[in-house]
Structure 1
Amino acid sequence: MEGALSWIDLAVILIYFVFVLSVGWAVSRSISTGDDLFLAGRSLGVAAVGFSLFASNISSTTLIGLTGQAYSTGLSVANYELMAGFLLVAMAFSTIPVFLRLKMTTVPEYFERRFGGGLRKYVSVLTIFLTVFVDMAASVYAGVVVLRTFLPAIPFFPLSVGLAVIAGIYTAAGGLRAVVYTDIAQAIILLLGATVLTFILFGEFDYQWSNVIQSLPSGHLSLVRPLDDPALPWLGLVIGVPVLGWFYWSMNQYVIQRVLAARNIETAQRAAIFAGLLKLAPLFIMALPGAMALSLLPGLENSDQVFSALVAEFLPVGLAGLVIAGLIAAIMSTVDSTLNAATTLVLHDFLEVDRRSWSSERILAVGRWTTGGLMVIATLWPLVIREFPGVFSYIQQVFSYAVPPVVAVSLLGLFWRRARGRAMLATLIMGHAIGAGVFIYRASYAAMEIPDGLPHFTIVAGIATAVWMAVGLVLSEVMPTQAGESLEGVVRRTDLTVTARLWFADVRILGAVVAILTLLVIVVFR
């Protein structure tokens, strides 16, 4: 499915590159402090935070992985996106008020405030690993896979270097403000490009939904699948996907960093709910095209190539450039977000710049050099990821074994006052040791193409979270309190008071609307 881009398509892509680099240069002129670099001066509004939450999440791995997985296994993969609607609403009334009242800079800082210093570095190391080796590197890999379809003469590695370097330049220069401003444009380009592709593909079925249904296997367009479904069984949807989503939206630094940059709590809450509304779109403009592609382009061997095949086969000159620009936007959005987040974690959780008497110039210099170092990893690790069968599967499976202990500890810390630091640290260590063993066990059996006898990884994630919450509860009763633990301001309060004067601006009503719309979509496509 290789196809050369026209000069018009290449011009559209070039204009995009010039735009993002210009934004980075322009914003860098206003960066004077570490707070500007890491949190945009804590001054962002609803649209900026909401669009940035959406764009940083809808990365190239989502655009390519979601489309490819829908081609292979059906529409149920869109549940990962739809579940975000519920979770972003929950986040608006749980973690956002706590985190913003504490005026934190990093998520691991919460664990230090709640349980003492030991958990901060543990969670920070884990978050940096997942951010750099899963989110960031997988986004670069997914982007290179598609771009090589249209630029086959350029080898894998040089493309990987180019994508990482461009994102690294404007991230290091402009910090989070540059990341967020480019995210707004990237989200719009991505939504426009994917919508155009969906509309054209739907035209292949004469714009008749009944024709789409008849052309695909039974159940391919169903979101709720049987218990033995290999892609996403209904039990995994109920108990596992929320676990992965809770970590991603409430405990993931590169997501929360945007929330922490909001000007106040209510702004952050509205932005999260707005992002939850936007998360309805991927079902229709990313997963659905992948599902329809099974009828339009049968027999594709590599599911990660589905998106590029659709672009090459169905989009005319000019529009292909727009959609590829949308893909590049998605790549940049995640790479810049993860670079900035990982840099923030290194400087605040390990170098502890907020506790040193460093000048603003030194903090900015160290931050930019750190971004450069992480950028090198982003260029190299995709060489490893390409050996894994399916980028979306790579991401979800790594997360499903890494995050359950963190989710268990975070929920206990937020909602149970008797949770104790030593007990939580022991829970994390045991949880990750056993999780790593299970992952290795499953990977070895998968390599031999032998059934491993374990449930779907989403079911395992749900069960593991429940188990580690129980372990944390028991250990908290038998292990003593350690120095540094606190309850002041770090346990979730039940206050839902808002200051909105108009009913339609009330975050409680807005949240309920998004939750109901998400539920209706699931019911319609059940």
Structure 2
Amino acid sequence: MNVWTITSFIGFTLLVAVISWWYTRKEDLTTRDGFFLGGRSLSGVSIGFSILLTNWSAEQLIGLNGQGYSVGLSNMGWAVTAAIAFVITAIVFLPMFIKKGITTIPDFIEARFGGTARNFIAWLFLINVAVVFLPTIVYAGALGMSKIFNVADIFGINEDSALLVSIFFITVIGGIYAIFGGLKAVVISDTINGFGFFVGSIFILIMGLIALGSGSMANGVEHLIVDHPQMLNAVTSPKVSVPFGAIFTGMVLINIYFVCTNQIIIQRALGAKSVAEGQKGVLFAGVVKIISILILIVPGIIAFHLYGNENIRPDEAYPILTSRLLPSYMVGFFGAVLFGAIISTFNSTINSCSTIFAINIYTPLKKGDVSNQQSVSAGRIFGTGLAIFSALGAPFIQYAPQGLYLFMQEFNALFSIPMLLMVVVAIFFKKATVQTTISGMLVYIALYLFFKFGYTGWDLHFLHKTAIYFFCGLAVTLLLTHYFPSTSVEVESHNTAKVNIENWKHLRIASIMTLVLMVATYVIASPLGIVAPISEVPMNLLYITLASIAAVIITNSVVKKVSQTYFS
């Protein structure tokens, strides 16, 4: 590592820190709204970038590119079909949550079911984050930093020790942002890092295509399409880790949980200065999430073309591509951007967990007799302990057999889908009680654990199983609710929103365009698009573009007419 690498890394990292400090220096971080929700003053752009950086991070950049290296675009559903969840959030969940003036998802559950349900979902969320999510984030980030900067060579240590050094560095810096800066510092740093992340990732994509084309980007694109075309097939590929049909079962459920009801993501939108700004940010994130396959999966496919015969581990593909292709001064800059993305997810997660602990666990334990300052202090202490715990668990993620990304998604499903079940029941089934709902959740958990660790002879992808368990749990809840319905009459709470609650005027057309883009992306990554003879690709893309424009116009007209007829 030369002086340019070190200088560009330190320079960009300090720039982000200074700007974040400058814009938050006058913020009141002693109040709950100030520390946990950024004072409810966030713009759509800030929300969008913060959601993206919270979501992208190293486990996406390294993990999904690792999947791209091993199976190609057939795994792109995790990114692309998230658009469905973003649209649902913008139309249904976000306006409802903001109108109710909630700070956390357990707040919403408590208002519907009471303190027992609040405690259940709060602890389920915190256990999921502590055991699965945060250690995976820290490990992925440490692996990337260690490989890009050759930490082992710098300090003269082995690879395992280099990983531990990187874990320590990420934990300390990320913890400082989250524990002392509050949500607004997190969001501001996310916005800056988000721009740098996107620019740097596009640059790596371009450099990869140039390397693949022996100096010509156009030739690189041609090689990408012509050589190993199965790697660009997301629909009928013979090489998959996630079957195409799974995007309609467990994958869509996990994405809906992650975007609509996951505190880590939704907290950014809850800090919006209006419902409209929150909707803009959420849909912006949904569109960019679809396009992000160009930086989250395609570079991994390029690495397969370039280094596929070197027998490297999939999770090492992206760091190796980066370190080999970028000039030294860009290695430092992109390392700083990647570091920013890593700590973005890390500190966002710590901040969200601190919020839930302080508001939904600590305050009720104290019978509500807690000042704002005490609540914030409790959140900070809990966040510190969580950061340390995640650092201790991170090294063990390297032993996941199918790569870090699938490990994280598979075990997330154990904890996240029961939480989604509770939120869905709370919204749509007014006669359900806390007892009937938790019974359904426990049925899901029991089925998941039994077929994961007990009977293992059921040869079905875990995403299909996840959907089956979900509907079994929901069926149990509805059956019990039929026989033991709630006898209390739910009283609609008055509007407690603290911001403007009018919907964005372009919400309908923006939502339709997002969903059409999602479908068009799948058509492009199929034999009807680029998985075809190279001579047919230009006309295929033209047809897909024209069909997409027509679909937007027709769908918008139909939805507008239906809404005017039945909902005006």
TM-score, scaled to structure 1? 0.90
Indicate if the aligned counterparts of 2:126 and 2:353 stay in contact, CA closer than 8 A.
Answer: yes
Residue 49 of structure 1: how far off its partner (Å) = 0.9
Residue 506 of structure 1: how far off its partner (Å) = 1.3
Q: Return the alpha-carbon distance in structure 1 between the equivalents of residues 392 and 279 of structure 2.
A: 37
* Residue in structure 2 matched with residue 17 of structure 1 by the alignment: 13
What is the letter of the counterpart of residue 265 of structure 2?
Answer: V
Indicate if the aligned counterparts of 2:42 and 2:271 stay in contact, CA closer than 8 A.
Answer: yes
1:296 counterpart = 2:306: yes
What does 1:392-407 align with in structure 2 at a 5 Å threshold?
A: 392-407=405-420
Indicate if the aligned counterparts of 2:433 and 2:485 stay in contact, CA closer than 8 A.
Answer: yes
* Residue in structure 2 matched with residue 494 of structure 1 by the alignment: none
* Residue in structure 2 matched with residue 98 of structure 1 by the alignment: 96
Indicate if the aligned counterparts of 2:75 and 2:240 stay in contact, CA closer than 8 A.
Answer: no
Name the % identity: 25
What is the letter of the counterpart of residue 466 of structure 1?
Answer: F
Residue 91 of structure 1: how far off its partner (Å) = 1.0
What does 1:60-99 align with in structure 2 at a 5 Å threshold?
A: 60-99=58-97
SS at match of 1:395: helix
1:196 counterpart = 2:203: yes
* Residue in structure 2 matched with residue 133 of structure 1 by the alignment: 131
Q: Return the alpha-carbon distance in structure 2 between the equivalents of residues 439 and 357 of structure 1.
A: 43
Q: Alignment partner for residue 394 of structure 2, among 382, 386, 406?
A: 382
What does 1:362-511 align with in structure 2 at a 5 Å threshold?
A: 362-389=374-401, 390-441=403-454, 452-481=457-486, 486=490, 488=492, 505-511=505-511
Q: Return the alpha-carbon distance in structure 2 between the equivalents of residues 486 and 260 of structure 1.
A: 24
Indicate if the aligned counterparts of 2:234 and 2:522 stay in contact, CA closer than 8 A.
Answer: yes
What is the letter of the counterpart of residue 15 of structure 1?
Answer: G
Structure 1 residues 461 and 487, CA gap change in structure 2 (3 angstroms): farther
SS at match of 2:178: helix
Q: Alignment partner for residue 275 of structure 1, among 262, 276, 285?
A: 285
1:262 counterpart = 2:272: yes
* Residue in structure 2 matched with residue 184 of structure 1 by the alignment: 191
1:348 counterpart = 2:359: yes
Q: Return the alpha-carbon distance in structure 2 between the equivalents of residues 499 and 80 of structure 1.
A: 28
Residue 172 of structure 1: how far off its partner (Å) = 1.4
Using the TM superposition, name which of 51-60 and 276-285 deviates more: 276-285
Q: Return the alpha-carbon distance in structure 2 between the equivalents of residues 402 and 143 of structure 1.
A: 23
* Residue in structure 2 matched with residue 158 of structure 1 by the alignment: 165
Indicate if the aligned counterparts of 1:422 and 1:479 stay in contact, CA closer than 8 A.
Answer: no
What is the letter of the counterpart of residue 200 of structure 1?
Answer: M
Q: Return the alpha-carbon distance in structure 1 between the equivalents of residues 67 and 380 of structure 2.
A: 36
Indicate if the aligned counterparts of 2:88 and 2:260 stay in contact, CA closer than 8 A.
Answer: no
Indicate if the aligned counterparts of 1:422 and 1:481 stay in contact, CA closer than 8 A.
Answer: no
Q: Return the alpha-carbon distance in structure 1 between the equivalents of residues 239 and 429 of structure 2.
A: 35
Q: Return the alpha-carbon distance in structure 1 between the equivalents of residues 118 and 174 of structure 2.
A: 28
Residue 410 of structure 1: how far off its partner (Å) = 2.2
What is the letter of the counterpart of residue 286 of structure 2?
Answer: G
SS at match of 1:351: helix
TM-score, scaled to structure 2? 0.84
Indicate if the aligned counterparts of 2:16 and 2:193 stay in contact, CA closer than 8 A.
Answer: no
SS at match of 2:280: helix
* Residue in structure 1 matched with residue 118 of structure 2 by the alignment: 120
Q: Return the alpha-carbon distance in structure 2 between the equivalents of residues 71 and 379 of structure 1.
A: 27
Structure 1 residues 405 and 378, CA gap change in structure 2 (3 angstroms): closer
Q: How many residues are aligned here?
A: 501
Pairwise CA RMSD of aligned residues?
A: 2.2
Indicate if the aligned counterparts of 1:59 and 1:331 stay in contact, CA closer than 8 A.
Answer: yes
Indicate if the aligned counterparts of 1:88 and 1:273 stay in contact, CA closer than 8 A.
Answer: yes
Indicate if the aligned counterparts of 1:116 and 1:482 stay in contact, CA closer than 8 A.
Answer: no
Bigger Rg, structure 1 or 2? 2
What is the letter of the counterpart of residue 515 of structure 1?
Answer: L
Q: Return the alpha-carbon distance in structure 1 between the equivalents of residues 5 and 507 of structure 2.
A: 42
Residue 151 of structure 1: how far off its partner (Å) = 1.2
CA shift digits 1:139-184 (9 cap, x unpaired): 1101111222221136222221111110111211110010100010
Indicate if the aligned counterparts of 2:224 and 2:302 stay in contact, CA closer than 8 A.
Answer: yes
* Residue in structure 2 matched with residue 493 of structure 1 by the alignment: none
Residue ranges of structure 1 left out of the alignment (5+ in a row): 446-451, 491-496
CA shift digits 1:360-393 (9 cap, x unpaired): 3333322222221111112111022122131101
SS at match of 1:279: helix
Structure 1 residues 59 and 463, CA gap change in structure 2 (3 angstroms): same
Indicate if the aligned counterparts of 1:43 and 1:261 stay in contact, CA closer than 8 A.
Answer: yes
1:284 counterpart = 2:297: no
Using the TM superposition, name which of 108-117 and 51-60 deviates more: 108-117
CA shift digits 1:298-333 (9 cap, x unpaired): 133311101111012211221222222221111011
Structure 1 residues 73 and 482, CA gap change in structure 2 (3 angstroms): farther
Indicate if the aligned counterparts of 1:422 and 1:482 stay in contact, CA closer than 8 A.
Answer: no
Q: Return the alpha-carbon distance in structure 2 between the equivalents of residues 79 and 487 of structure 1.
A: 40
Residue 230 of structure 1: how far off its partner (Å) = 4.6
SS at match of 2:30: coil
Q: Return the alpha-carbon distance in structure 2 between the equivalents of residues 453 and 34 of structure 1.
A: 47
Q: Return the alpha-carbon distance in structure 2 between the equivalents of residues 187 and 316 of structure 1.
A: 21
Indicate if the aligned counterparts of 1:240 and 1:459 stay in contact, CA closer than 8 A.
Answer: yes
CA shift digits 1:70-129 (9 cap, x unpaired): 101111222101111121011111111111111111111211112222211111111112
Q: Alignment partner for residue 340 of structure 2, among 313, 318, 329?
A: 329
Q: Return the alpha-carbon distance in structure 1 between the equivalents of residues 492 and 3 of structure 2.
A: 60
* Residue in structure 2 matched with residue 215 of structure 1 by the alignment: 227
Q: Return the alpha-carbon distance in structure 1 between the equivalents of residues 362 and 25 of structure 2.
A: 23
Q: Return the alpha-carbon distance in structure 1 between the equivalents of residues 287 and 422 of structure 2.
A: 28
Structure 1 residues 363 and 28, CA gap change in structure 2 (3 angstroms): farther
CA shift digits 1:201-259 (9 cap, x unpaired): 1112232433212222x421111246x86511122111121111011001111111111
What is the letter of the counterpart of residue 294 of structure 1?
Answer: F
What is the letter of the counterpart of residue 168 of structure 1?
Answer: G
Structure 1 residues 319 and 122, CA gap change in structure 2 (3 angstroms): same
Q: Alignment partner for residue 48 of structure 2, among 47, 50, 63?
A: 50
Q: Return the alpha-carbon distance in structure 2 between the equivalents of residues 499 and 397 of structure 1.
A: 35
Structure 1 residues 358 and 416, CA gap change in structure 2 (3 angstroms): closer
Residue 25 of structure 1: how far off its partner (Å) = 4.2
SS at match of 2:446: helix
Residue 13 of structure 1: how far off its partner (Å) = 1.4
Indicate if the aligned counterparts of 1:253 and 1:341 stay in contact, CA closer than 8 A.
Answer: yes
What is the letter of the counterpart of residue 342 of structure 1?
Answer: C
1:361 counterpart = 2:359: no
Residue ranges of structure 2 left out of the alignment (5+ in a row): 495-500, 527-568
Q: Return the alpha-carbon distance in structure 2 between the equivalents of residues 364 and 498 of structure 1.
A: 31
Q: Return the alpha-carbon distance in structure 2 between the equivalents of residues 220 and 360 of structure 1.
A: 53
